[in-house]
Amino acid sequence: MAKGFLYQPVKIDQRKHQSEVKLFNALARKYRSGATFKQIAITEFCRSAGVSRATFYRHHQTLTDIIVVQFLIVIAGFERQIDTLTQADFANSSQIVVATIYTNLELIKMVPWSGAQAQVQALLSGTAQQILMLRDHPKATQNFVSGFLGAAILNFALQIATVQEPITKATALKLYQQLLPNSL
């Protein structure tokens, strides 16, 4: 199999990036404060983020989009890491998946709070599908397998993020490799 590249760098507008950082940080503050997601008013939220309503609506339709954009950023970082591996196999990619989960625990906790499960699962499934296509996985089962993996990875991440007694990264890696199939 020829080396395929998942990550394709895009030119990022710095003003847009700064706005995204402000919006996400403001949303994370709301989450930490115990605010109910559905009761967040856009006008007040934009004011607390230091971003105009016009800027918010230029890039987002809903507050949930902020979570989705953050996952796109996380996935781009994951893809960059996978592409730098000399040998991208299940063991190496599992380590990157688990490390990515632990680096983004708060973001993962914000998924059910914001109601973004379906959108995040679709992003994860799309990434799995890209990998399956690069690995020449049979087309007949690509959609099924990528959908399953997207749901499984999101559920695994949610369990790690919300478990009552913290699980070490080493234990999480063992669990990940036991529970998720070596399909990628």
- Say yes or no: 164 and 98 in one domain: yes
- Say yes or no: 52 and 93 in one domain: no
Span 97-154, pLDDT tens digits: 999 999 999 999 999 999 999 999 999 999 988 887 777 777 888 889 889 999 999 9
Which carries the bigger pLDDT value, residue 28 or residue 6?
28
* pLDDT exceeds cutoff 80 at 157: yes
What is the extent of the structural domain holding 32?
13-60
pLDDT at 128: 87
Average pLDDT, the chain: 89
CATH number of the domain bearing residue 51: 1.10.10
Kindly report which listed range (15-29, 77-91, 140-154) carries the lowest average pLDDT score.
77-91
- Say yes or no: 119 and 102 in one domain: yes
- Say yes or no: 36 and 105 in one domain: no
CATH number of the domain bearing residue 130: 1.10.357.10
Domain count within the chain: 2
- Say yes or no: 90 and 178 in one domain: yes
Question: Alpha carbon of 40 to those of 46, 105, 138: distances in Å?
Answer: 10, 22, 45
- Say yes or no: 31 and 81 in one domain: no
* pLDDT exceeds cutoff 50 at 2: no
pTM given for the model: 0.88
- Say yes or no: 72 and 105 in one domain: yes
Q: How confident is the model at residue 30 (pLDDT cuts 50, 70, 90)?
A: very high
pLDDT at 19: 93
- Say yes or no: 88 and 135 in one domain: yes
